[in-house]
Amino acid sequence: MAIICPIPKILLPVDESKHSGRAVEFTGCLGGLMGDSLSGITLLHVMEGSYVGEHTDYVDFRAEILKKSDTIKKFKDQHIEKDIRPFMDEWEKILRDSGIRIKIEKLILDGEPAHEIVRIADEGGFSTIIMSRRGHSETIGITSAVVHAASRQTVYVIGYEVLKDKAFPVPSMLIPVDGSPYSMKGVEHAACLAGTLKGSIRGITLFRVINTALYKERVAKGEYPDMEAEQVLNAAKAVFLQAEVSEELITIKSRRGKPAEEILKEAEEGDYNLVIMGRKGRSTIKDLLLGGVSSTVLHRCQNPTVAIVSSG
């Protein structure tokens, strides 16, 4: 397999919080190792308009409408210069100090954050969105909304415990697999990432959960779940070997149980830094968009970073 960087163009939504700082540091460390494989990084901050209420209690809004909102524009410009550009500049400095030499753009917009993030990601041709798991109190909802809506991008949701060693941003990877096409997209992404990072990867675990709720039914039909699990794991391993990832780094595991619960248990017990999962295609039902297993893992697996890989 020819190694093609799976994260060539990154959209990095940020605010001033320490949680966004984790996402910036992760991006810097990862991007620094990727070097010329990256084509661009854009720092994006979306203002929701709260700055007006915070600073303009005395403004007669009816008069300002007649003045084409010149005063509101003034407060907005002051807010950007005083409150937003400083932390945007600081985040850029962290990226530069991490060794990133490619172009870094900074974009400040008005609007509903999740909508604007996905819109910019689509219009700008971004392959990857990297977000913190939590910023301000409303950011939990923003991150979830972006993950569900951004079907064209792989979304990295940065966990609470990252960068224990900045020289190895994702040393230990867990890739749950079930043999489905969207699951294999996750495998391909992980293989390309591991091939790109080479020496910074210390361990890769391919993990198959045999669903006990369906086990007896499948056996009764003449199917062999344990044998199927072995075949799925070997197929996933072959993808990594084709990407020239050392076989010594790869561990395969299978376990019986409820898929989401067993993945969460393995993620905790194995002390992984990154969990990579494929996503199902778009659905009109928001809660089913990622599939029940992916959604559960995303929301409950909070210490490692979780990557939901685009099926496109």
- Domain spans in the chain, listed from the N-terminal domain onward: 9-158, 172-309
Residue 110 and residue 47 in contact, taking contact as beta carbons nearer than 8 Å: yes
Measuring CA to CA, which residue among 273, 158, 258, 165 is closest to residue 213?
Answer: 258
Return the CATH class of domain 9-158: alpha beta
What is the distance between the alpha carbons of residues 307 and 187, in angstroms, rounded to a whole number? 11
pLDDT the model gives residue 62 = 52
Tens digit of each residue's pLDDT, the chain (312 residues): 455 678 899 999 999 999 999 999 999 999 988 888 899 999 999 997 555 445 445 445 554 454 456 777 788 888 899 999 999 999 999 999 999 999 999 999 999 999 999 999 999 999 999 999 864 444 458 888 899 899 899 999 999 887 666 667 788 999 999 988 989 999 999 999 999 888 889 999 999 999 988 877 888 888 888 899 999 999 999 999 999 999 999 999 999 999 999 999 999 999 899 999 988 744 433 433 446 888 889 888 888 999 999 876
Q: What architecture is domain 172-309?
A: 3-Layer(aba) Sandwich (3.40)
Instruction: Report the 10 Å Cβ neighbour count for 64.
Output: 15
**Complete DSSP assignment for 78-91:** HHIIIIIHHHHHHH
In terms of DSSP bridges, do strands 104-110 and 128-132 run parallel, antiparallel, or are they unpaired? unpaired
Single-letter residue type at 59: V
Single out the residue of 76, 80, 78 nearest to residue 89, CA to CA.
80
Closest CA to 225 of 248, 254, 247: 254
For 8, other C-beta atoms within 10 Å of its C-beta total 15
The 3-state DSSP class for residue 157 equals: strand
Domains 9-158 and 172-309 share a fold: yes
pLDDT of residue 214: 83
Q: What distance in Å separates the CA atoms of residue 267 and residue 286, rounded to the nearest whole number?
A: 25
Whole-angstrom CA distances from 89 to 27, 66, 139 are 15, 35, 21
